[in-house]
Amino acid sequence: MRKSLLLVTAFLISFAGTPSKSADLTLCWAAWDPANALVELSKDFEEQSGHNMSFEFVPWPNFADRMLNELNSGGKLCDLMIGDSQWIGGSAEAGHYVKLNDFFDAEGITMDDFIPATVTGYAEWPKGTPNYWALPAFGDVVGWTYRKDWFERPELQAEYKDKYGRDLGVPQTLAELKDVAEFFQGREIDGKTVYGAAIYTERGSEGITMGVTNALYNYGFEYGNPDSPYELEGFVNSDGAVKGLEYYKELYDCCTPPGSSDWYMSESIDAFRSGLVALQMNFAFIWPGVHADPNVGGDRSGYFPNPAGPGGHFAQLGGQGISVVSYSGEQDAALEYIKWFAQEEVQKKWWELGGYSALRAVVEDPGFVTSQPYAQTFLDSMAIVKDFWAEPAYASLLLAMQDRVHKFVIAGQGTAQEALDGLVEDWIEVFEDEGKL
Amino acid sequence: MKVSPLEKAAEATPQKLGRSIRGLSDRAIAWIFVTPTILLLLAINIFPLIWTIRLSFTNYRANRPNADIKFIGLRNYERILTDSDIWQTMQATAHFLFWTLLLQVVIGFALAWLINRKFKGTGLWTTIIVLPMMLSPAVVGNFWTFLYQPQIGLFNYLISFLTTIDPSSFTMIGEVSLAPWAIVIVDTWMWTPFVMLICLAGLRSIPDYIYEAAECDRASSWRQFWTITIPMVLPFLMLAVLFRGIENFKMFDLVVLLTGGGPGSTTELTSINLKREAFEKWRTGYASAYAVILFVTIFGLASIYVKALNKVKDR
């Protein structure tokens, strides 16, 4: 009797000790280097939680199409979504994402622990209100990479100083950046013709917008009247904005490689890594890969934030937050992942693996700026970010901008003023359709 | 007594079932066979068409399933027909259609005429010529993107070799003036073999005795070409134009891979533009109206063309 009682007790204890049912979680994101780092990082989560992680990574040009279709159709493929920052409004309003406020409160996760720009950019909707739909997952921003080894060549330094009257170094303003790019354009270096800069010109998804905004913001472009939302006239097409757009076209015309009329992240990386360009505009996520590259890595490359312009000093925000998809059948396990991901030690490892942590405890650590050669540039850049619209109609707003800007910058159709006036008309039409005007 | 297989089958049929089938008229049996097909057709063709027409009068957006759908009358149609961007894509499509059809018919017919002369290695040459149309458009698009690269592309080097122009001084897919021709060249390279095969079938269907009779009448080769070859191949040619015309009107994959519709919107054909409106901007109502306009245009043009084709065939 005693023996059987013991057996029953052992049986019950073994059940009581079993962790909650293991779940199969699918995390959806773009197919890029940080995604591989996340796969590596998530192995710890699998080990600790007993859940199985699967990943659905889609290349950037198709990422928005594929994932927004998935969300709009109420698909159950993704339990966790690392969606682009601009999706937050639409996904929150359409009920694609689970609101995380109660979860954050219950688990003691506070947004004060994250870089403020990433909270606003990746987690909040409506902007500026404490309504959170994501946890900042990957901080990213447009910055510049340059060929430090070329810049350090004495003969090039001397020639540059003769021509421009200043040292060949990291450009402090957009005008200086254009001079540097012009200086390298068509130059023979080590028997090879090289060009000034690889910049974003892509038309199909978001490329040229993510590029041109780095010039527009710094010449005075604003998305609207800060005191009167959706008042666009005179802000989107201000004199400064027109000059900014003209600057970007001049940069494209004077200083980019032939055939770069439809370039985005991957084409710019390829151009830089193959030694075709002296400067490269790109999101910060590429910096770990550049640093490790056998051809251009190590001391051969340097990094700097988007230079200032006459109207200010800003850089285009990239990056994403991680959200729980409301159609997921594994929401509890998905929330468990977010809780695990928000931990300081996990975030530290995330940074070590090549992921840009948005946790202040990581980036404000005294050792952070010296941990990688691009760490300081990342911090400096994150301090000057500005983002595109995150409205539910962001896709229509983005496509209108893509069309107008690409037609002017790449195809040379019309004037900068006409392009921005047309953009104002397009955006007003979108907001009218949305019932916001 | 020997029993035939038919009688065996009749015996095997249960009497009740046999009686019930015997009780049906031929027309009823025909309906039984045809009904599934009609239902399928209604479900996948007619219903979506009617639904599209309905949506074209609304402000519906597929990415806002919970939003109110407003009936806005002909507003979408009015917007489309007065939108200069839409007319620009129509122009780009017309340019693409005209030049691809012209070049494919001329080159395809010339190749068919040469192949039809039956020389040594005809089979091998035919196989080599038809290779491009066997490739996937995705492969062709990527392949030609590399060929057109100003730094490493063979196309630019070939032009440079022939004209002494610097290969990196022009960009076929990046310049407004060249991009429309870049897509014409690739489509012509890929689909001329298709036109050639149809023309070859036409040329081989002409009986030899007609040419023999013409030679007896001392008709010159030129005269034979214009009065025998061309009229007899014309229905085949027109059929090839119809097939290629319809295909190129809805051209999407090849151009997206090559130029993405750019630079600017110089190579944005109607199908690309329609896709952007429907699945990127999510203006479903607007895109439905756009689709209806394109459908009516293609249907009207194809009807006129088929009538002309029938007239030529009856001649």
- Mark whether A234 and A196 lie in a shared domain: yes
Express each pLDDT in A33-47 by its tens digit.
899 999 999 999 999
Q: Would you tell me how many other CB atoms lie within 10 Å of the CB of residue B91?
A: 12
Question: Please, which residues 291-350 of chain A have a Cβ atom closer than 8 Å to chain B?
Answer: none
| Predicted confidence (pLDDT) per residue in A146-197, tens digit | 999 999 999 999 999 999 999 999 999 999 999 999 999 999 999 999 999 9
- CATH number for the domain that contains residue A154: 3.40.190.10
In A, which residues are within 8 Å of B256 by CB distance? Answer: 204
- Final residue of a domain: which of A348, A364, A386? A386
Domain count, chain A: 2
Tell whether A355 and A427 lie within a shared domain: no
What is the per-residue pLDDT for A184? 97
- One domain, residues A132 and A225: no
Specify the pLDDT at position A181.
98
CA distance B55 to B284: 7
How much of chain B exceeds pLDDT 70, in percent? Answer: 93
In a domain, A407, yes or no: yes
Nearest to A339 by CA among A356, A327, A358, A322: A322
A126: cis peptide before it, omega within 30°? yes
Q: Please, which residues bridge with residue A189 across strands?
A: A192
* C-alpha distances in Å from residue A290, one per residue of A145, A236, A285, A299, B143: 9, 35, 10, 10, 27
Which chain A residues are within 8 Å of B169, Cβ to Cβ?
258
pLDDT of residue B3: 63
Q: A168: distance to nearest CA of chain B, Å? A: 27
Q: What is the DSSP string of A370-437?
A: HHSTTHHHHHHHHTTEE----STTHHHHHHHHHHHHHHHHTT--S-HHHHHHHHHHHHHHHHHHTT--
Q: Which long-range contacts link A121-124 to residues 24+ away (Cβ below 8 Å)?
A: A121/A85, A121/A317, A121/A319, A121/A385, A121/A387, A121/A390, A122/A85, A122/A88, A122/A319, A122/A320, A122/A321, A122/A358, A123/A88, A123/A321, A124/A88
A173 and A59 fall within a common domain? no
Which of B76-80, B101-105, B108-112, B170-174 has the weakest average pLDDT? B170-174
The C-alpha atoms of residue A279 and residue A272 are separated, in whole angstroms, by 7
Query: A10 CB near a chain B CB, below 8 Å?
Result: no
* Extents of the domains making up chain B: 5-55, 82-314
* Cβ contact, residue pair A261, B150, below 8 Å: no
pLDDT at position B98, please? 97
Minimum CA–CA partner of A429 in chain B: B79
> What does the pLDDT read at residue A3?
52
- Tell me whether residues B280 and A65 touch, CB distance under 8 A: yes
pLDDT digits (tens, 9 = 90+) for A260-294: 999 999 999 999 999 999 999 999 999 999 999 99
Percentage of chain B with pLDDT > 90?
A: 70
Hey, are the CB atoms on B263 and A411 less than 8 Å from each other?
Answer: yes
CB contact under 8 A, B63 and A259: no
Give tens-digit pLDDT for A248-267. Answer: 999 999 999 998 999 999 99
**DSSP secondary structure, chain B, as one string:** -PPPHHHHHHHHS-HHHHHHHHTS-HHHHHHHHHHHHHHHHIIIIIHHHHHHHHHTTB---TT-TTSPPPB-TTHHHHHHHT-HHHHHHHHHHHHHHHHHHHHHHHHHHHHHHHHTT--TTHHHHHHHHHHHHHS-HHHHHHHHHHHT-TTT-HHHHHHHHHH---GGG--TTTSTTTHHHHHHHHHHHHHHHHHHHHHHHHHHTS-HHHHHHHHHTT--HHHHIIIIIHHHHHHHHHHHHHHHHHHHHT--HHHHHHTTT-STTTT--HHHHHHHHHHTS--HHHHHHHHHHHHHHHHHHHHHHHHHHHHHHH-
Q: Do A395 and B85 touch (CB under 8 A)?
A: no
Of A7-21, B20-34, B186-200, the range with the lowest mean pLDDT is A7-21
Please tell me whether residues A204 and A343 are part of one structural domain: no
Residue B27's CB is within 10 A of a number of other CB atoms, namely: 8
What residues of chain A, 183 to 212, have a C-beta less than 8 Å from chain B? 193, 202-204
Question: Which strands form A52-58's sheet, in the order they lie side by side?
Answer: A52-58, A24-30, A80-84, A320-324, A135-138
Residue corresponding to tokens 């006239």: A233
User: Which domain covers residue A222, as residue numbers?
Assistant: 142-316+393-433
- DSSP strand pairing (A301-305 vs A142-147): antiparallel
**Which among A94, A392, A411 has CB closest to B266?**
A411
Query: What is the identity of the amino acid at A247?
Result: Y
How close, in Å, is residue A65 to chain B by CA atoms?
7
Residues A53, A202 share a domain: no
pLDDT value of position B2: 60
CB pairs under 8 A between A and B: 88
| Cβ separation B262–A395 shorter than 8 A | no
Going by C-beta distance under 8 Å and a sequence separation of 6 or more, which residues neighbour residue A213?
A221, A316, A386, A388
Its ipTM equals 0.73
| pLDDT tens track for A194-235 | 999 999 999 988 999 999 999 999 999 999 999 998 999 999
pLDDT at B168: 82
Cα separation, A430 vs A224, whole angstroms: 14
Tell me which of A326, A407, A418, A425 to substitute to probe the interface with B (most B C-beta atoms closer than 10 Å): A407
Residue A16: pLDDT above 50?
A: no
Restricting to A residues 137-176, those with a Cβ less than 8 Å away from any Cβ of B are: none
Confidence bin at B234 (pLDDT 50/70/90): very high
Residue A270 lies in a domain: yes
Structure confidence by residue, pLDDT tens digits, A53-84: 999 999 987 898 899 889 988 999 999 999 99
Q: Render pLDDT for B285-299 as a digit per residue (tens, 0 to 9).
A: 999 999 999 999 989
Best residue of A410, A423, A425, A436 to probe chain B, by most B CBs closer than 10 Å: A410
Model confidence pLDDT, tens digit, residues A338-356: 999 999 999 999 999 989 9
Pick A399's closest partner by Cβ from B150, B173, B280: B280
Using the beta-carbon criterion (under 8 Å), do B63 and A406 form an inter-chain contact? Answer: no
Residue A14 lies inside a defined structural domain of this protein: no
Whether residue B264 and residue A413 make contact (CB cut-off 8 A), yes or no, is: yes
Q: What is the mean pLDDT of residues A395-423?
A: 94
Q: What Å distances lie between residue B29 and A74, B14, B24, B32, B35, CA to CA?
A: 43, 18, 7, 5, 10
Say yes or no for a CB contact (<8 Å) between B263 and A203.
yes
Tell me which chain B residue has its CA closest to the CA of residue A393: B281
A218 inside domain: yes
pLDDT of residue A13: 45
**Closest Cα of chain A to B168: distance in Å?**
6
Residue A376 in any domain: the answer is yes
Convert the pLDDT of each residue in B150-165 to its tens digit: 888 899 999 999 998 8
Closest CA–CA distance from residue A259 to any residue of chain B (Å): 5
Please give the average per-residue pLDDT across B82-100, as a whole number: 94
Peptide bond into B263 cis (omega under 30): yes
Nearest to A381 by CA among A83, A111, A118: A118
Check whether residue A359 and residue A307 sit in a common domain. no
pLDDT digits (tens, 9 = 90+) for A90-133: 899 889 999 999 999 999 999 999 999 999 999 999 988 999 99
Q: Residue A30 pLDDT > 60, yes or no?
A: yes
Q: What is the pLDDT of residue A358?
A: 95
Residues facing residue B213 across a β-bridge: none
Q: Write the burial class of residue B221 (CB in 10 Å: 0-12 exposed, 13-18 middle, 19+ buried).
A: exposed
Share of chain A above pLDDT 70, in %: 95
Indicate if the pLDDT at residue B270 is higher than 80.
yes
Examine the domain organization and report whether A300 and A190 are in the same domain.
Answer: yes
Whether B168 and A258 lie within 8 Å, measured CB to CB: yes
Are A146 and A246 in the same domain?
yes
Asked if A296 and A425 sit in the same domain, the reply is yes
Please give the average per-residue pLDDT across A376-397, as a whole number: 91
Strand partners, B201: none
Q: Which CATH number fits domain B82-314: 3.40.50.300, 2.160.10.10, 3.50.50.60, 1.10.3720.10?
A: 1.10.3720.10
Do A304 and A332 fall into the same domain? no
Rounded to an integer, what distance in angstroms lies between the CA atom of residue A100 and that of residue A140? 22
pLDDT band at B67 (very low <50, low <70, confident <90, very high): confident
DSSP secondary structure string for all residues of A223-285: SSBTTBTT--TTTTT-HHHHHHHHHHHHHHHHHS-TT-TT--HHHHHHHHHTT-EEEEEEEGG
Report pLDDT digits (tens) over B8-53.
766 666 666 555 666 788 899 999 999 999 999 999 999 999 999 9
Q: Tell which wins on pLDDT, A224 or B64.
A: A224
pLDDT at A20 over 60: no
Mean model confidence pLDDT for chain B: 90
The Cα of B205 is separated from the nearest Cα of chain A by a number of Å equal to 47
Length of chain B: 315
Q: Are residues A77 and A112 in the same domain?
A: yes
In the predicted model, what is the mean pLDDT of residues A380-408? 92
| Coil, helix or strand at residue A61 | helix
